[in-house]
């Protein structure tokens, strides 16, 4: 099923030029962030700009094998997975119960310096390359929130970055953007089967924390912060037509943003959309109960996908594809789609930073999903 984002020329021009309050929200371009928009965003920042490393990041992470991790991880515990193309055996797994206490893990490896970030208040997990302004760096937490989302700082330039947005809002790199890499939100019982040779972030973090105790509640139980109520703090933009804690998969490129309702992708098994100037496809992986997003381009052409029974096929060539974005049969056999770093988020947080976002899956019947 193909669903097309139809953005008129007038609206596109508005999105490009209006970096100012609109309907109670802040419109922002992903290639930059105007001073006027930053000034407006300051109205929704809380906390102390002198409180660094609150909470403390994990700067010297240790990793253990899957068997050792299985001694203390519950089957339904949420974990975040970092995959490496063609190297499933090297997958790295980050338990949410560690991230909820630290929110930042800095990994320094030859050729793979990176940072895994998680904000429990907004349910956003984002991977960033550990570079700011072309310089190697690491990240820490500020005791500050913007739109209820954690503000990070980089330790080379001291620029402030909202974790969800990844755009500098204060400091030498104000207006610049960090580069992301994709992470998968799943559960331990699925990850341990999929990545038997992977490694897991150890609880030996250097801090005496009780990992497994979450002050906000639990995703395994109803009636906690993670599925009731709204934000604790004021937001730049609100859309009450969707429950604030509904989980979405968000993607923003250039001046365009889309929020995929995760529950709808899982029902339909894929979402194929025209996103700006190129198509993308989100594919549900039942074995992980997770979703990957890809640029839907191969052999110099844009592709649109649909389910043909249990098979994923592109409409242009009728080639068959697997859940990893690789063509297994047909004219495009052997070609592979490029991953996109979409992010898991609660709806209220994504909308607060992306007031013009489209929503895929708002209607569950027919072709009209936007």
For the chain, the domains span 2-31+237-360, 44-201
> What pLDDT is stored for residue 296 in this prediction?
97
pLDDT for 211 equals 94
Choice between 36 and 226, residue whose per-residue pLDDT is larger: 226
Instruction: State mean pLDDT over 339-361.
Output: 95
- Report the pLDDT value the prediction gives residue 30, as an integer from 0 to 100: 40
Give the confidence band of 275 by pLDDT, cuts at 50, 70, 90.
confident
Instruction: Note whether 233 and 151 are within 8 A (CB).
Output: no
Q: What is the pLDDT of residue 6?
A: 41
pLDDT (0 to 100) of residue 369:
60
Q: Which of 152, 124, 125 is nearest to 139 (CA)?
A: 152
CA dist 47 and 49 (Å) reads: 7
pLDDT digits (tens, 9 = 90+) for 299-324: 999 999 999 999 999 999 999 999 99
Residue 259 has pLDDT above 80, yes or no: yes
Q: What is the pLDDT of residues 106-139, one digit of tens each?
A: 999 877 899 999 999 999 999 999 999 999 999 9
**What was the pLDDT predicted at 19?**
30
Mean pLDDT of the chain: 88
Q: What percent of the chain has pLDDT over 90?
A: 78
The pair phi, psi for residue 25, each rounded to 5°, is -115, 180
What pLDDT score does 230 carry? Answer: 95
Instruction: Say how far apart CA 367 and CA 365 lie, in whole Å.
Output: 7
pLDDT band, residue 370 (cuts 50/70/90): low
Residue 367 has pLDDT above 70, yes or no: no
**What local confidence, expressed as pLDDT, does residue 36 receive?**
74
Helices and strands per DSSP (H, E), number in the chain: 7, 32
Topology of 2-31+237-360 in CATH?
A: Rieske Iron-sulfur Protein (2.102.10)
Q: Do you find a cis peptide bond into 55, omega within 30 degrees of 0? A: yes
> pLDDT above 70 covers what percent of the chain?
88
Please count the CA atoms within 13 angstroms of the CA of 336 that sit on its side-chain side: 6
Predicted local confidence at residue 33, as pLDDT: 54
pTM of the model: 0.89
Mean pLDDT is lowest, of 206-215, 325-334, 339-348, 355-364, for 355-364
Would you call 341 helix, strand, or coil by DSSP?
Answer: coil
Q: Which of 45-54, 72-81, 206-215, 327-336 has the lowest mean pLDDT?
A: 206-215
Residue 215 clears pLDDT 50, i.e. is over it: yes
Q: Per-residue pLDDT for 18 more than 70?
A: no
Higher pLDDT, 85 or 335: 335
Cβ–Cβ under 8 Å, residues 347 and 353: no
Least confident of 91-95, 108-112, 231-235, 292-296: 108-112
Classify residue 129 by its DSSP letter.
Answer: E
pLDDT number for residue 31: 42
pLDDT for residue 16 is more than 50: no
pLDDT of residue 154 exceeding 60: yes
Is residue 7 over pLDDT 70? Answer: no
Identify the weakest region by mean pLDDT among 45-49, 110-114, 177-181: 110-114
Residue 350's closest CA among 260, 259, 263, 240? 259
User: Does the pLDDT value for residue 28 go beyond 90?
Assistant: no
Question: At residue 333, does pLDDT exceed 60?
Answer: yes
């Amino acid at each position: 099923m193909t669903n097309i984002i139809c953005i008129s020329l007038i609206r596109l021009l508005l999105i490009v030029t209006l970096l100012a309050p609109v309907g109670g929200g802040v419109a922002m371009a992903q290639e930059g962030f105007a001073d006027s928009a930053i000034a407006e965003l300051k109205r929704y920042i809380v906390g102390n700009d002198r409180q660094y490393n609150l909470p403390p990041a994990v700067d010297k992470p240790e990793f253990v094998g899957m068997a050792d991790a299985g001694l203390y991880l519950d089957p339904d515990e949420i974990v975040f997975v970092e995959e490496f193309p063609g190297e499933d055996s090297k997958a790295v797994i980050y338990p949410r119960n560690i991230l909820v206490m630290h929110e930042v893990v800095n990994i320094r490896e030859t050729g793979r310096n990176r940072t895994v970030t998680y904000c429990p208040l907004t349910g956003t997990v984002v991977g960033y390359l550990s570079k700011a302004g072309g310089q190697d760096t690491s990240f820490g937490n500020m005791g500050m929130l913007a739109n209820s989302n954690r503000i990070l700082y980089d330790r080379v330039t001291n620029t402030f970055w909202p974790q969800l947005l990844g755009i500098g809002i204060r400091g030498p790199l104000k207006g610049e953007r960090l580069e992301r890499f994709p992470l998968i939100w799943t559960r331990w019982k699925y990850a341990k089967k999929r990545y038997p040779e992977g490694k897991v972030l150890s609880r030996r973090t250097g801090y005496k924390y009780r990992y497994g105790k979450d002050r906000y509640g639990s995703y395994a139980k109803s009636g906690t912060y993670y599925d009731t109520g709204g934000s604790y703090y004021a937001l730049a933009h609100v859309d009450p037509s969707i429950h604030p804690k509904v989980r979405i998969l968000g993607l923003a490129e250039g001046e365009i943003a889309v929020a995929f309702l995760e529950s709808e992708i899982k029902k339909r098994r894929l979402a194929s959309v025209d996103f700006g100037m190129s198509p993308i496809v989100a594919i549900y992986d039942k074995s992980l109960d997770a979703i990957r997003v890809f640029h839907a381009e191969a052999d110099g052409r844009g592709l649109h996908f649909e389910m043909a029974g249990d098979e994923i096929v592109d409409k242009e060539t009728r080639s068959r594809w697997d859940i990893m974005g690789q063509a297994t049969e047909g004219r495009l056999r052997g070609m592979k789609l490029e991953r996109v770093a979409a992010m898991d988020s609660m709806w209220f947080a994504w909308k607060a930073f992306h007031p013009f976002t489209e929503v895929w899956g708002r209607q569950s019947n027919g072709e009209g999903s936007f």
